[in-house]
């Protein structure tokens, strides 16, 4: 199986695999809230993991909260920050953000992207000027198209009005520099070579934050006993992702460009969604006119290639991608699109094999549909 769905979940980094195998062979980890010796040892390990995460993200350790996932971290921010007023966000956010926004009980302004998938900063400037706004939320990079959003510019606009910004940075580690400007940001370990089941939320000290899960753990920001081993694994994966970011990003970007060039040359009607906008180097979202994306995905799966239709959290809904619809694509265009996301282990042979299969299957499907 050749894997092209790294935006849904990246394989565990080999060093993380070794760490987990070693950690789970050791004596049981104590509860970090306990005062006995095993508990104190667990707390020391948890504090060390938090310190390491903070160092990579450029924030004090006390501002880092470990969560069970990136989705939980996003919900914590959307439901815990600026709860007394209006949220300004975009229409292309991850479902974790948009569904949490529905539960705020306050007005939510969703800004539409341009046709290239990038949300104009001018729209934020106008929306943030309206009375009653208390929180701005914007993803660092779209999980379906890879389009990078104007985070730095939007954070600056919000800061002029003393408004905090939350950034869904789940797709960022190992691909773009850490989100140092935003007052709050969410991360998920399994997107950058760590294990599933652990995420991180950074909230700057001094912000008024209302916990989603009450409890004394995590400085009162999230109740529940954290998994010390998973937190340590997340810290290690984050360090590795940042250490390898430049080298991996350049090579993967070249492979992504090779893939797109070959497909566009062989299938003249194909289109890259988000083309022309700055994008993650590993992500390509491509329309194959005259085909059904789901059927094409299944055919590729049978030939040993793993791709996706879009957000893994929304798969199986049978609805066209809301992200692509918000960009102005028709329902048929959205349904004919596939997301292809590469990783550090992707090779030229993998890319060439996928191109050959895609071109053959897409041409066959288009011919069948025309007939």
**What are the residue numbers of the active site?**
313
The Cα–Cα gap between 56 and 67 comes to: 17
Sign of CA dihedral 366, 347, 141, 156: negative
Class of residue 162 by CB neighbours under 10 A (exposed 0-12, middle 13-18, buried 19+): exposed
**In the chain, what's the furthest Cα-to-Cα distance?**
74
Please count the CA atoms within 13 angstroms of the CA of 75 that sit on its side-chain side: 16
| Rounded-to-5 percentages of helix, strand, coil across the chain | 45, 15, 40
Q: Read off φ and ψ for residue 202, nearest 5 degrees.
A: -105, 125
How many CB atoms are located within 10 Å of the residue 237 CB?
26
C-alpha 258/C-alpha 266 separation (Å) is: 12
Distance from C-alpha of 136 to C-alpha of 142, rounded to nearest angstrom: 16
Chain centroid to Cα 178, Å, comes to 13
Alpha carbons 127 and 148: distance in angstroms, whole number = 20
Residues 6+ apart with CB under 8 A from 263: 270, 286, 355, 358, 359
């Amino acid at each position: 199986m050749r894997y092209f769905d790294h935006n849904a979940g990246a394989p565990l980094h080999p060093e993380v695999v070794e760490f987990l195998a070693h950690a789970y062979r050791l004596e049981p980890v104590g509860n970090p809230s306990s005062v006995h010796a095993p508990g104190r040892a667990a707390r020391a390990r948890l504090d060390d993991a938090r310190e390491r995460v903070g160092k990579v993200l450029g924030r004090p350790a006390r501002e880092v909260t470990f969560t069970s996932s990136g989705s939980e971290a996003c919900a914590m921010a959307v439901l815990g920050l600026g709860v007394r007023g209006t949220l300004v966000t975009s229409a292309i956010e991850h479902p974790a953000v948009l569904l949490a926004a529905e539960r705020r009980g306050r007005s939510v302004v969703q800004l539409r992207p341009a046709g290239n998938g990038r949300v104009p900063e001018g729209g934020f400037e106008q929306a943030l000027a309206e009375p009653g706004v208390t929180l701005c939320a914007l993803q660092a990079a779209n999980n379906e198209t890879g389009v990078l959003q104007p985070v730095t510019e939007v954070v600056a606009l919000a800061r002029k009005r003393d408004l905090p910004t939350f950034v869904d940075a789940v797709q960022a580690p190992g691909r773009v520099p850490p989100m140092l400007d935003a007052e709050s940001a969410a991360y998920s370990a399994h997107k950058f070579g760590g294990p599933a089941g652990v995420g991180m939320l950074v909230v700057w000290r001094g912000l008024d934050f209302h916990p989603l899960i009450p409890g004394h753990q995590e400085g009162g920001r999230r109740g529940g006993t954290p998994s010390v081993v998973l937190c340590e694994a997340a810290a290690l994966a984050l360090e590795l992702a940042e250490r390898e970011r430049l080298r991996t990003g350049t090579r993967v970007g070249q492979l992504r460009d090779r893939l797109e060039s070959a497909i566009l040359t062989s299938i003249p009607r194909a289109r890259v969604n988000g083309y022309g906008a700055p994008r993650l180097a590993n992500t390509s979202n491509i329309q194959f006119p005259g085909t059904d994306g789901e059927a094409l995905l299944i055919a590729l799966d049978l030939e040993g290639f793993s791709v996706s239709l879009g957000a893994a959290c929304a798969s199986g809904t049978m609805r066209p991608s809301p992200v692509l619809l918000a960009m102005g694509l028709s329902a048929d265009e959205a349904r004919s699109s596939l997301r292809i996301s590469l990783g550090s282990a992707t090779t030229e042979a993998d890319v060439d094999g996928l191109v050959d299969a895609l071109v053959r299957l897409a041409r066959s499907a288009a011919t069948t549909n025309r007939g």
